[in-house]
A and B are shown apart, each in its own frame.
Chain A
Amino acid sequence: MNRWRTNTGCLAASLCAALLAGCIQAVPQELVDAIETIDRDLIALRAPEIAADDYARFVRQWVPLKARVQSEDDLIRWPWEANHLEADLRRLHEEGGQAVARLSDRRTLQRQAVESKLARVEERLQMMASHVEAIEGRIVLGGKPVQTDLLMKQARTFFDQQDYNRSLLAAEQADQALIAQAAVLSRELGRYADEERIARWQAQAKQTIEWSRHQHSTAIVVSKADRVLTLYKNGRPVLTHPVRLGFNGMREKQYSGDGATPEGRYRVTAKRGQGQTQFYRALVLDYPNAEDRRRFEQAKKAGRIPSAKGIGGQIEIHGNENELMAQTLGCVMLDNAHMAALFERVEPGTPVTIVGALTGQNSVAYALAQLTHREEDT
């Protein structure tokens, strides 16, 4: 009887041991860790911002499952018992893994798209800067280039911070600002591409040259777009020199201090030699003439000119005061050697015609065409 009891006890103990050995933990820890990793990956991919719905779906499942894992942490189960929690976790692991892969691809595509956009806008920015410099139109644009530059710097900073949405937004704003700059240039300098205006300038220059031929005298024609002064004698060009204009020279002069160089038909009213001018030698022009005064009054009446502004004056063709500070406020300036040659051949009364451009293929028209073309590409 005792032996039977002992055997039965041993058998029961063995059975218990076998059964206990067969028991397994409710949820494998590595599965929980893997889902934690997926959560971290989704966060690193900025899922809450760029794929809020996907992340919300993941979190809606993960939060209660995690709570269940924590509440059933100490549980063990028999091998033959179904483990719904583990099944749910495995399903979430699979879905989460797919979401990470999907978002990773999407993020790569987004980064590439933003990088490409940044490169395109930066290229346009450089092209705009180079055209504006070429036509000396920086003043025309005022503070716009700085605003655009700041937007692009912001776009780059956001890109470096991997905040692609904000980077793209800033780059698009910069792109729009570039289009606005091109529009300002077209509005302010569009006359350089206006066939009617160019025809009028051509006619003015032709009349001046004809006058030189008929009068067997000298006459001067200045083309602002080409930045060239040509001296004619008997209707034939005898001198051609590069010139510099006012700091805002490409614009049509409107009032005193605007830095623009006037356009129109003038005459030399006086010659100022050594000791009479601070600019080496100077030929004084009769700006403002009657046409300038009429235009000024009209513009003032229309409110296009501030009421306190005057029409200006003392427009000259002159040399340099100092090579290092060679810039004029609205005159036409030559190098001193060229000025000396011109000064010798010109007398008071010589007609001086200043035009915007002599052909449709001028530097300003070319720059505007390039910028407009790019705008259409956008």
Chain B
Amino acid sequence: MKIVQMLGSVAVAALLVSGCAKPPTEQVAAAEKAVLEAQQSGATMYAAQDYAKLEGALAAIKSEVTEQDGKFALLRDYGKAEQLATSTKADAERVKADAIKKKEEAKVGALQAHQVAQDAVKATLDLVAKAPVGKDRAAVEAIKSDVEALKASLNQVQLAIDKEDYLSAQTQSKAIQEKSQAVSAEIQNALAKVGKGKPSAAKKK
């Protein structure tokens, strides 16, 4: 009888041990790490929607694990959480790759826009150098101030690029290019106007 009881206890213990499911700690940690890496690669800015889904998935995994943790040990099933963690990790890796690609595209776009803006400002500066220094000074001096401000704004674009804020860098560059073209047109008009006259030498005033 004692032997039977002992065997029964061992069998129950073995059943309990083998029946206790363990939370997928490693898989969840791997998913969290992958999501963090996606965030650090710039996904919040360059793949915002996909990144939001990753955060939602992480929250869902935690919720599922907590729900299973709250159940009686024998009834716990972490299968769904494990499956979700695995798929979230794969998604996070895809989002990270996507964000890196989009960020690189934005960087290339920002650098190109910066170059175009620099060229536009340089063309305007070249025109300013041709502007008459003797007279019509109000317009020329105002234009010089404008071009100096445009030059200073190019530094702002560089700062945005350095901070990897490529979207701001692109819009700033576009604005500088447009304004440079407007200022150039203003100088062309002034040159056309005074080209008919003869500039005089500057004098002390």
Contacts and interface: CB of A to CB of B under 8 A. Distances in A.
Interface of A: 43, 47-49, 52, 55-56, 58-64, 67-68, 71, 136, 138-139, 141-147, 149-151, 153-154, 157-158, 166, 246-248, 256-257, 259, 278, 310, 312-315, 321-331
Interface of B: 48-49, 51-53, 55-57, 59-60, 63-64, 80, 83-84, 87-88, 132, 134-142, 145-146, 148-150, 152-153, 168, 171-172, 174-176, 178-179, 193-194, 196-200, 202-205
B135 A326 contact: yes
A51 to B, nearest CB: 10
Contacts of A157: 171, 174-175
7 contacts: A43-B49, A52-B52, A60-B56, A151-B175, A259-B205, A321-B200, A325-B199
Which DSSP category, helix, strand, loop or mixed, fits chain A's interface? helix
B153 A60 contact: no
A59 B58 CA distance: 10
B141 A146 contact: no
A136 B142 CA distance: 10
A313 B80 CA distance: 88
A314 B193 CA distance: 27
A259 B88 CA distance: 68
Contacts of B56: 55-56, 58-60, 62-63
A79 B153 CA distance: 69
A46 B56 CA distance: 16
Contacts of A278: 200
A63 B53 contact: yes
A56 B52 contact: yes
Contact of B149 (A67, A142, A166, A323): A142
Given A139-B138, A324-B196, A150 B179 contact: yes
Given A312-B204, A327-B136, A150 B153 contact: yes
Contacts of A136: 138
Nearest to A315: B205
B105 to A, nearest CB: 16
B197 A331 contact: no
Nearest to A141: B145
Nearest to A156: B175
Contact of B135 (A49, A151, A154, A325): A325
Contacts of B172: 150, 154
A143 B152 contact: yes
A49 B44 CA distance: 9
Nearest to A43: B49
Nearest to B178: A153
Contacts of B150: 146
Nearest to A153: B175
B59 A56 contact: yes
Contact of A158 (B88, B171, B196): B171
B149 A314 contact: no
Contacts of A328: 135, 137, 205
Contact of A55 (B52, B80, B142, B198): B52
A67 B153 contact: no
Contacts of A56: 52, 55-56, 59
A273 B141 CA distance: 30
